[in-house]
Structure 1
Amino acid sequence: MKLSLLAKASLIVSSAAMSFSGFSQGVNADNSELTQVVDAGKKINQMANNSQQRVDKLNEQIQSKLQQFKTVNKEIDGLTVYNKQMKAQIDNQLIELQQLAESMEQVSIIERQVSPLMARMIDTLAAFVALDVPFLPEERNDRIENLKAMLDRADVSVAEKFRRVLEAYQVEVDYGRTIEAYTGLQQVESKELDVDFLRIGRVSLVYRSRDGKAMGMWDQTSKSWQPLDSEYRTDINKALRIARKQLAPDLIVVPVAQNSAE
């Protein structure tokens, strides 16, 4: 009977031992699964962190590219406006070039017409000087000869030639409204004297010898010099001083030839 109790006790102890061993194994199994779960969670968190970093990096790249895109768009807009302005300027320049080309063609035609015109103007001026009151003959004839020589020069433009011809005409026009005194040689009674000439416009041209004894007036009708009386000596002397700006302008009495060239 006692042995049976001992046997039962042994059996109970063995069962308890087996139960404890099974519990211990169950606990170890749970710990292993928990560890795996924790490790898996760490891996997921790490992967999520890495993914977030990649997302952040991609976002930064996208923002950078977006900013570059906006900047490029602004530059494109500015270049579009600039290109429109340049196109308008180029179109205007093309129009101006066309007009210049047409003007150059017209200039060539005008040049062919102006050269003969200038030659005729110079010949007319020479004829006028030959028929005019004979004051400053050398200066005026030299001016005409220089104009004739200038027409054959290739280094002078047509515009400059025409300007000089007009300038010579202007000089002749000015002679008609100015007073002038100059010196020269004059044939008086078969003698060549050094005299003072007085020109008042084209209405009066007189001379006076240096000693004041000989005086004469150009008569345009007879194309000759006529002697003057001594009564004009004072006025002529005064007029010479006025012409040389030695006296203030004043009223003077001088002989005027009738039918003088104007």
Structure 2
Amino acid sequence: MTQLEFIAKNWLGRLRTFEYKAHFFVKGVFDYQIENANKSLFIEVVGCPGVGKSTLIDYMEEKRLIKGLIRARLWIARLQRNTNIDSAYKRILDYKLISLENEKSRFKYSQYAITPRAIDKYVEDEKIPTVLLIDEGLFHHFKYEISDNLGKDKALFSKLMEKRVIVHMTARPEIIAERILKRYRKTGNLLPYYKNKHEYEIAEYCRKAQKKRKKVIGEFEKRGVPVLTVNAEDGEQANTKHIDDFIKILMNDYLGAN
């Protein structure tokens, strides 16, 4: 192996690591590899922390069903403006920030809105239909704010929601708690609201969180947002097929409507 080949191989290996992927790709946003897409869609994967969203997405990426969105593609979109999109995001943020007293939390949620807004503008600018799969996107951070405001200004928020699809991942609370603690023992990582809790307490937290999330997602579905609920216990392969079939049905429905 020549020195040039060694350097190239070394850099390729580094690019595959999380640290370097974070520099080059948008976190949690992936190009969905679907042939003959006829409309743009945002497929937002939501679910209780620990339910297996990341595991599913890792599987889909490994099977090359999705690929990372290069960060540079959003740079220009972040600077552009769209009256409808900007108004909707401002309303969501204002509504959220009122409930937050901590300045650090207010800043954090302001940051959470940057990437979804840029994605909206990026897809609007694309000349061809673009399908993106998103982990911890707009619904994840602002589902209650969107739900409350959707009823108050249907025209504005319908524009924001028209491309969005929800994939709602669920599992038995006991299974989620078991997975959370298994990951904690392996990595040492644990979300703040799971710390210092027994397994049964984590399961109870997840049960309540899933019930609350199911209710608000049901409201979105009533208002016409396509929703697919999958059971994480069915495994990544089965759920990947469920998602792919669902997206293809939406594409066919769109063709039929036009």
TM-score range, shorter chain: under 0.3
Instruction: Output the TM-score relative to the length of structure 2.
Output: 0.21
Instruction: Output the TM-score relative to the length of structure 1.
Output: 0.21
Higher relative contact order (CA 8 A, sep 6+): 2
